[in-house]
Amino acid sequence: MNKTGRNGGRGELLVLLEAAQSKSAHISRDTITELAESLDLSIGEVYGVASFYSFLSTKPQGRNIIRICKSLPCLLKHAQTIIDSVRQEIGILPGETTPDGRFSFELTNCIGACDKAPAMMVNSDVHGDLTPKKIAKVLQAYK
Amino acid sequence: MPEKRVVLKNCGVIDPQDIASYLAADGFKALEKALKLHLKQVIDEVKASELRGRGGAGFPCGLKWEFASKAQGNEKYVICNADEGEVGTFKDRYILENDPFSLIEGIAIAGYAIGAKKAYIYLRAEYHFLLDLLQNAIAQAKKKGFLGHLDIEVREGAGAYVCGEESALMDSIEGKRGEVRYRPPFPPTSGLWGKPTIINNVETLTNIPRIILNGAEWFGKMGTEKSKGTKVFSVSGDVAKPGVYELVLGSPLRELVEKLAKAEKVKTVQIGGATGRIIPYAMIDASLSFESVLGAGAITVFDESRDIIDIVGKTMEFLAEESCGKCTPCREGTEVMVETMERLGRGEGLKKDIKVLEELAETMMLCSMCGLGQAAPIPVVDSLEHFRGEYENRIRQS
C-alpha cells in the first residue's frame, strides 16, 4: 500500500510539500529530488504537483507573503487602491519579492472574505475592510 | 418567506472552542439517536428529507449515501468539501468559524450511515487560520467519545479553485495535481483511492444533525416542491449590509438583496459565483431554489454604475486562471473568451465576436469534462441574453 497508499506513501505528497513550503518559504530542487526518491516517484511528477498549486512556490519567496484579492467582490470595493498602496508602501510589483526578502507580493483569487472587502492575506492572516490608510500599519506587524 | 436559522442555529450562540456549549444546545443528540438506528434507517431518513447538496450541484444527499452504503468493500470514505472557492462565497467559512461541532456531528453520522472508518475534511488553503479551531473541535469530540467509529482528519488544500470539484479534490487528497477525472465511475462506487466515497459540502453535512434529530417530515415542511429546507447565502458587492443570511428555500431574490442586504439601484445579480447565473433586475422576484436559481448561494450584487462587459470579462479571467487545463474546451475556451471580452472592453469588438462567443459557449457546455468547464460560459450566455445591447455597443463601427 506504500506507493499508491494511504499512509506514508504518495497520499502524503501534498502534505509533505505543504510542510516544506511553510518551513523554507518555497520548495527547492533538492526537496523535490528528495521527495521523489523517498516516495518512489519521478522528479517530474513531484514538480508537477508542486507547480500546480498557487500556494506552493518553486522559487524562493520572501519571509511574508502578501496576497491581495482581485476577484469581483473586492474589486467592486476598490481593491485596486489597495493594490496601489501596497505597491507604493513596499516598492515592488505583484509577482516580485523585496530585495531584503521581507515581502513577496501576489494578487490572488477570491479568499472568501467578501463580506469584509476589500481584503488581503498576509501569510495566513486575513485583513479585511481595508483602506489605503490602513496598509502601512497592517504591514508594520510583519518583519 | 422569512429568514430562518436552521443550519446556522448555533452560530453566535455557542462557543466554537468549547464542546460543553454545543452539548448544552442539543449537540450530538442526533448522533446518539442515529447510532441506535440501523444504518438503513438513517439513510432512509436523509432520503425522505429530500436534502440536496448545498455545494451547487444539488444532487440528492440520501441517494449518494445509499449508493456508497450498497457499494462493495469494507474500505469507504467520507469527505467533507470545505474548499469553497466560488467567487463571492464565504458561508462555509462562517459555519466553520462559528459552529464546527455541527459539521463534525454531521460527518460522524455520515460515516456511520455508509460504514466508513475514515473521514477527511478538505479545507481550502485560504482558510488555514481555521485549522486550529477545527482540529480542536475534532479533538474535543473525540475525547467525549463521539468519534469511536470514525477517524476525522483535516487535509489542507494549497490554492486551487478546481479542487472544490469533487474528483479534483480526491486527486488532491491522493497527493496529485488537482485535475478532474472522467466519470463514470462516480465516487460512491469508486472514489478516493478507488474506494466508495461520499463527498458532501460543509452546509449539506451541517443539515444532517438537524434532520436526524427533528425528522424528515419537519424538514420537508420548509421550502418548495423540489427544494426542501433552508439555504445559507453569502451576499457581497454593491450592498450596504454584506454578510451571511439563511432563508427558507423558495424565498424571493428581492428579499435577500433589497430587504436584508439593503441594495439600491441594482442592475444585475450574479448568483452562484463565477460559473453562476447573471440575473437582470427585471428578474429580482425570482425564487431562490433548485427549480429556479441557486448555485452554492453566492450572491454578488452590481449597481447601475457597473459595466456588464467588465463584470463578465473579470469573471472569465478568473475561470481561465483556475481551469485545471486537462480538457481542451475549458482550457482554450476560457482563454478565447478572456481575449474577446478584453477586446470588447476596449470598444474594439469584431462583428463576428458575438456569434463566435455563442458557438464557443455551446461547445464548452457540451464537451468539457467537469462542472467548471461546462458552466464557465454561463456568464457569457446569460449576459448576451439579458444585456446584448452592451455587447453590440462595443463592436467597432467601420
Max Cα separation, chain B? 76
Does B84 touch chain A if contact means CB atoms closer than 8 Å?
A: yes
Contacting B residues, span 292-311, partner chain A, CB-CB under 8 Å:
300, 302, 306, 311
Mean pLDDT of A57-66: 95
- Sign of the torsion formed by the C-alpha atoms of A115, B295, B52 and B190: negative
Q: Which residue of B has its CA nearest to A14?
A: B175
Residues A77 and A113 in one domain: yes
A33 lies in the same domain as A85: no
Domain span holding position A92: 64-138
Integer-rounded Cα radius of gyration of chain A:
17
Bond prior to A132 in cis (omega within 30° of 0): no
C-alpha cell at B292: 429556479
Q: Answer yes or no: do A68 and A134 share one domain.
A: yes
Pairwise CB contact (< 8 Å): B314 & A121 = no
Q: What is residue B1's predicted lDDT score, i.e. its pLDDT? A: 57
pLDDT in tens, B40-69: 999 999 999 999 999 988 999 999 999 999
Burial class of residue B186 (count of CB atoms within 10 Å of its CB; 0-12, 13-18, 19+): middle
Residue A37: inside a domain, yes or no? yes
Residue A141 in this model has a pLDDT that exceeds 50? yes
Candidates A10, A18, A113; nearest CB to B156: A18
- Are A44 and A70 in a shared domain? no
HEC sequence for chain B:
CCECCCCCCCCCCCCCCCHHHHHHCCCCHHHHHHHHCCHHHHHHHHHHHCCECCCCCCCEHHHHHHHHHHCCCCCCEEEEEECCCCCCCCHHHHHHHHCHHHHHHHHHHHHHHHCCCEEEEEECHHHHHHHHHHHHHHHHHHHCCCCCCCEEEEEECCCCHHHHCHHHHHHHHCCCCCCCCCCCCCCCCCCHHHCCEEEEEHHHHHHHHHHHHHCHHHHHCCECCCCECEEEEEEEECCCCCEEEEEECCCEHHHHHHHHCCCCCEEEEEECHHHCEEEEHHHCCCEECCCCECCCCEEEEEECCCCHHHHHHHHHHHHHHHCCCCCHHHHHHHHHHHHHHHHHHCCCECCCHHHHHHHHHHHHHHHCCCHHHHHCCHHHHHHHHHCHHHHHCCECCC
My answer on whether A47 and A68 are in the same domain is no
Query: Does residue A95 belong to any structural domain of this protein?
Result: yes
State the pTM of this model.
0.95
- Same domain flag for A82 and A128: yes
3-state secondary structure of A97: strand
Query: Residue B94 — φ and ψ, nearest 5°?
Result: -60, -40
Which helix or strand (DSSP H or E) is residue A66 part of? strand A64-69
For residue A10, the model assigns a pLDDT of 87
Chain B residues close to A18, C-beta within 8 Å: 156, 158
Disruptive mutation site among B98, B176, B321, B331 for chain A (greatest number of A CBs within 10 Å): B176
Confidence band for A8, pLDDT divided at 50, 70 and 90: low
The pLDDT value given to residue B397: 77
Claim to verify: residue A77 and residue A131 sit in the same structural domain: yes
Distance CA A113, CA B345 (A): 28
The answer on pLDDT for A47 being more than 80 is yes
Q: Which residues of B are less than 8 Å from A126 in CB distance?
A: 126, 129
Q: Which domains does chain B have, with CATH numbers?
A: 19-220 (3.40.50.11540), 230-303 (3.10.20.600), 308-392 (1.20.1440.230)
* Same domain (yes/no): A132, A81: yes
Residue A58 domain-assigned (yes or no):
no
Q: Residue A105: inside a domain, yes or no?
A: yes
Number of domains in chain A: 2
Which residue is associated with the grid cell 501534498? Answer: A14
Q: What pLDDT digit, counting tens, does each position of B270-296 carry? A: 999 999 999 999 999 999 999 999 989
Of A110, A117, A124, the CB nearest to B85: A110
Residues A132 and A111 in one domain: yes
b/e sequence A75-96, b meaning 16+ C-beta within 10 Å:
bbbebeebbebbbebbebebee
Q: Determine the pLDDT at residue B90.
A: 98
Residues A77 and A22 in one domain: no
Give me the residue label for grid cell 460515516.
B111
Question: Residue A1: is its pLDDT beyond 90?
Answer: no
Residues of A (101-130) whose Cβ lies below 8 Å from B: 108-115, 117, 121, 124-126
B93 in contact with chain A, both atoms CB, cutoff 8 A: yes
85-104 in A: which are within 8 Å (CB) of B?
none
pLDDT of residue A4: 44
User: Is A1 among the domain residues?
Assistant: no
In this structure, is residue A16 part of a structural domain?
yes
For residue A55, give the DSSP letter.
Answer: T
> Would residue A100 count as lying in a domain?
yes
Tell me which chain A residue has its CA closest to the CA of residue B156: A15
CATH number at residue A120: 3.40.30.10
Q: Is there a single domain that holds both residue A130 and residue A77?
A: yes
Give the DSSP letter of residue A132.
Answer: G
Q: What averages of pLDDT result for each successive group of 10 residues across chain B (398 residues)?
A: 90 98 98 98 98 95 98 96 96 98 98 98 97 98 98 96 92 94 93 97 98 98 97 98 98 97 98 95 97 93 98 97 93 97 96 96 96 95 98 88
Whether A57 maps to a domain, the answer reads no
In sequence order, what are the residues at sequence separation of 6 or more whose Cβ sits closer than 8 angstroms to the Cβ of residue B359?
A: none
